């Protein structure tokens, strides 16, 4: 494709290989958990459904519930409020104030509510810092676990975000170098040689998957790096330079629309009327609302509708919170359309794949699966070529198997822990974490006991398959709705995910059976590591 000198080609191939070898294990974890997280919303709806099908839009009559709540909380937490439709359709509302903890780190502290979307009853109430509130919530534990593992590998901020940002850059490098060094990209698009040398098969397997996935890999890596570095590094760095370290001022400048302060008390206008007006203006349901300075003369309500069909983002609508009067509409960032705001609006849809509902999510899931496959086959190819060289490389090869087949096992066990804890009335966060770590431990022990790689792969796949098949059963035992009830209530996510788990379980068990193809795929030697 691109003609380079042999030396340059060799250098780029070395970059490609070594970036994958050094960071591939963690990158594989980020990609795999990202693939699962495409359906984080559906996982939440499946793991903690209400009696009715969830809506993504906010209920039309929410004013009374929020007004009642506002009267019962500490007035200092009326500084900010946001609410949106969350897991199972529950309305998540957070009244909070921006404070600083003992170490000077900015934190959001306040009162979190979960409101039933139909009855508008407050189902749950929590008080404290936003992170502590999340840790107390039981029904969001599973979806949050997968997303958090993907976004920051469960490491504390900012280190987790910085690490996933670096991994995103590494993925970009791997995609670009792979594109440059592969001389016959188009010519070998459909070529996967299975009948000759196993190493050649391994190479073709990786190259074919990588070639087809190339563009998506680049887009995903770019947008992923932006999300990680943007908050952990970009905003603080530019705030330091151009805003004297004041990140809040940077954000106010970029978002735009902040009004002059007026702390005089004032009655708060009817939210339902403002919601109705915003729906009329936008032609769309409202997805997210933020309120600044509830109960003051300078109260501002900003409504973000769900993106209209065919668009990636909706314009925001701002209202005077005291009078309910419409102030202006604006893009996501700034007060006027801009290249910056347009690019920013693109990042989310390109990364999450949620712009076209279930269809786009399904495509993004498939692409994520392909990217995971590329990462794993790349590491297997790298180690297959070197495992004969030294003990260190053979150990690394075992580690690749541990991560490559152990992580899916651990991810499959996590819901078992979640539903198990739910059935026992225990903390679902602890249950999920414990099951995940237990699976990691099992995989580690098996890596030590089973020296033969193919046997290790088969056992890990079989255990994964069993876990997937057991999960719908355990979900039912934990009090989740059966398929009949789910069908009547329109709880599509319950039936869909149960079905997907059953199909996935059968597929894993089939993959665990010994076959000649498996032997070829896993490298030239079927000998112990």
- Contacts (CB under 8 A) with other proteins, residues 248-267: 250, 253-254, 256
**Quick one: tokens of 148?**
């958090």
**Closest of 317, 257, 255, 256 to residue 282, by C-alpha:** 317
At its nearest, how many Å lie between other proteins and the CB of residue 56? 13
Kindly report the backbone phi and psi dihedral angles of residue 140, in degrees, each rounded to the nearest multiple of 5, phi listed first.
Answer: -95, 0
Select the residue interacting with other proteins from 344, 402, 405, 418 (CB under 8 A).
344
229 binds other proteins (CB under 8 A): yes
Q: What is the DSSP string of 166-200?
A: HHHHHHHHHHHHHHHH-TTTTTTTT----SS-HHH
Cβ proximity to other proteins: between 240 and 477 the closer is: 240
Size of the chain in residues: 529
Q: Cα separation of 160 and 222, whole Å?
A: 17
338 binds other proteins (CB under 8 A): yes
Q: Which of residues 288-327 bind other proteins (CB under 8 A)?
A: 309-310, 312
Q: What is the CA radius of gyration of the chain?
A: 25
Select the residue interacting with other proteins from 97, 155, 347, 423 (CB under 8 A).
347
At its nearest, how many Å lie between other proteins and the CB of residue 145? 26
- The span of 56-64, 108-116, 122-130, 216-224 binding other proteins (CB under 8 A) equals 216-224
Q: Cα separation of 302 and 289, whole Å?
A: 6
Angle at 179 between CA 174 and CA 180, to 5 degrees: 100
Question: What is the maximum span of the chain, computed from C-alpha positions, in angstroms?
Answer: 80
Select the residue interacting with other proteins from 100, 194, 258, 328 (CB under 8 A).
194
225 binds other proteins (CB under 8 A): yes
Binding track, positions 120-159, relative to other proteins; x by CB under 8 A: ----------------------------------------
- The span of 8-16, 141-149, 282-290, 395-403 binding other proteins (CB under 8 A) equals 8-16
Helix (H/G/I), strand (E/B), else coil: 26: helix
Q: Cα separation of 98 and 76, whole Å?
A: 10
Q: Cα separation of 77 and 74, whole Å?
A: 6
Select the residue interacting with other proteins from 12, 70, 151, 461 (CB under 8 A).
12
**Closest of 421, 427, 419, 391 to residue 501, by C-alpha:** 419
519 binds other proteins (CB under 8 A): no
State CA 463 to chain mean position distance: 25
At its nearest, how many Å lie between other proteins and the CB of residue 349? 8
Cβ proximity to other proteins: between 236 and 476 the closer is: 236
- The span of 109-117, 165-173, 272-280, 418-426 binding other proteins (CB under 8 A) equals 165-173
How large is the angle between the packed helices 6-37 and 159-181, nearest 10 degrees? 130
440 binds other proteins (CB under 8 A): no
What is the distance between the terminal CA atoms of the chain, rounded to a whole angstrom?
Answer: 37
Q: Cα separation of 361 and 368, whole Å?
A: 10
Kindly report the backbone phi and psi dihedral angles of residue 97, in degrees, each rounded to the nearest multiple of 5, phi listed first.
Answer: -125, 150
Number of residues that bind other proteins (CB under 8 A): 76
Contact 44, 377 (CB under 8 A): no
At its nearest, how many Å lie between other proteins and the CB of residue 360? 5
335 binds other proteins (CB under 8 A): yes
**Closest of 457, 30, 456 to residue 225, by C-alpha:** 30
Select the residue interacting with other proteins from 56, 125, 134, 193 (CB under 8 A).
193
- The span of 153-161, 180-188, 272-280, 471-479 binding other proteins (CB under 8 A) equals 180-188
339 binds other proteins (CB under 8 A): yes
Cβ proximity to other proteins: between 360 and 399 the closer is: 360
At its nearest, how many Å lie between other proteins and the CB of residue 378? 15
Burial of 325 (0-12, 13-18, 19+ CB in 10 A): exposed
Beta-sheet strands, E only, within 162-299: 286-292
At its nearest, how many Å lie between other proteins and the CB of residue 171? 10
- The span of 55-63, 81-89, 221-229, 495-503 binding other proteins (CB under 8 A) equals 221-229
Cβ proximity to other proteins: between 7 and 263 the closer is: 7
276 binds other proteins (CB under 8 A): no
At its nearest, how many Å lie between other proteins and the CB of residue 479? 31
Helical H runs in 425-489? 428-449, 453-477, 483-489
- The span of 65-73, 135-143, 230-238, 289-297 binding other proteins (CB under 8 A) equals 230-238
336 binds other proteins (CB under 8 A): yes
95 binds other proteins (CB under 8 A): no
Cβ proximity to other proteins: between 81 and 508 the closer is: 508
192 binds other proteins (CB under 8 A): yes
Select the residue interacting with other proteins from 57, 97, 358, 473 (CB under 8 A).
358
Q: Which of residues 359-418 bind other proteins (CB under 8 A)?
A: 359-360, 363-364, 366-367, 370
**Closest of 33, 24, 36, 26 to residue 374, by C-alpha:** 24
15 binds other proteins (CB under 8 A): yes
22 binds other proteins (CB under 8 A): no
Cβ proximity to other proteins: between 102 and 186 the closer is: 186
Q: Which own/partner pairs from 146-155 qualify as long-range (CB within 8 Å, at least 24 positions apart)?
A: 146/33, 146/36, 146/37, 146/40, 146/43, 146/411, 146/414, 147/37, 147/40, 149/29, 149/33, 150/30, 150/33, 150/34, 150/36, 150/37, 151/227, 151/228, 152/228, 153/26, 153/29, 153/30
238 binds other proteins (CB under 8 A): yes
Q: Cα separation of 319 and 297, whole Å?
A: 12
């Amino acid at each position: 494709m691109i003609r380079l000198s042999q030396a340059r080609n060799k250098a780029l191939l070395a970059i490609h290989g070594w970036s994958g070898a050094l960071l591939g294990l963690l990158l594989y974890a980020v990609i795999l958990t990202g693939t699962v997280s495409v359906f984080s919303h559906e996982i939440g709806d499946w793991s903690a459904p209400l009696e009715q099908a969830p809506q993504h839009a906010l209920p039309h009559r929410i004013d009374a519930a929020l007004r009642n709540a506002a009267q019962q909380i500490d007035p200092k937490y009326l500084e900010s409020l946001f609410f949106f439709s969350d897991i199972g359709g529950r309305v998540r509302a957070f009244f909070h104030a921006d404070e600083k903890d003992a170490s000077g780190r900015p934190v959001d502290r306040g009162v979190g509510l979960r409101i039933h979307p139909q009855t508008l009853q407050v189902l749950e109430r929590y008080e404290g810092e936003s992170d502590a509130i999340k840790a107390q919530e039981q029904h969001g534990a599973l979806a949050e676990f997968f997303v958090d593992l993907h976004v920051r590998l469960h490491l504390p901020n900012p280190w987790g975000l910085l690490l996933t940002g670096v991994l995103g850059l590494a993925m970009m490098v791997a995609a670009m170098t792979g594109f440059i060094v592969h001389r016959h990209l188009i010519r070998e698009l459909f070529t996967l040689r299975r009948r000759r040398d196993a190493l050649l098969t391994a190479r073709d397997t990786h190259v074919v998957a990588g070639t087809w996935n190339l563009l998506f890999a680049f887009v995903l890596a770019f947008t992923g790096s932006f999300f990680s570095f943007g908050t952990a590094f970009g905003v603080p760095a530019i705030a330091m330079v151009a805003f004297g370290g004041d990140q809040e001022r940077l954000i106010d400048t970029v978002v735009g629309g902040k009004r002059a302060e007026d702390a005089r008390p004032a009655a708060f206008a009817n939210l339902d009327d403002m919601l109705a007006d915003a729906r009329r203006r936008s032609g769309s349901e409202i997805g997210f609302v933020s309120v600044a300075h509830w109960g003051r003369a300078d109260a501002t309500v900003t409504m973000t509708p769900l993106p209209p069909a065919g668009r990636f983002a909706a314009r925001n609508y701002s209202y005077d919170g005291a009078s309910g009067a419409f102030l202006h509409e604006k893009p996501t960032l700034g007060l006027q359309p801009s290249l910056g705001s347009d690019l920013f609006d693109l990042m989310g849809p390109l990364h999450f794949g949620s712009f076209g509902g279930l269809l786009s999510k399904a495509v993004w899931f498939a692409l994520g699966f392909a990217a995971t496959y590329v990462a794993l086959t790349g590491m297997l190819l790298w180690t297959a070529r070197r495992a004969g060289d030294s003990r260190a490389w053979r150990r690394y090869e075992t580690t690749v198997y541990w991560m490559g087949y152990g992580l899916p096992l651990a991810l499959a066990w996590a819901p078992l822990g979640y539903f198990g804890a739910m059935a026992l009335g225990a903390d679902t966060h602890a249950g999920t974490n414990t099951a995940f770590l237990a699976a990691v431990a099992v995989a580690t022990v098996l890596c030590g006991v089973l020296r033969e790689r193919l046997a290790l792969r088969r056992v890990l796949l079989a255990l994964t398959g069993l876990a997937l098949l057991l999960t719908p059963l355990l979900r039912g035992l934990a009090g989740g709705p059966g398929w009949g009830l789910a069908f009547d209530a329109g709880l599509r996510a319950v039936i869909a995910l149960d079905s997907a788990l059953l199909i996935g379980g059968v597929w894993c068990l089939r993959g665990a059976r010994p076959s000649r193809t498996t032997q070829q795929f896993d490298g030239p030697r079927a000998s112990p590591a």
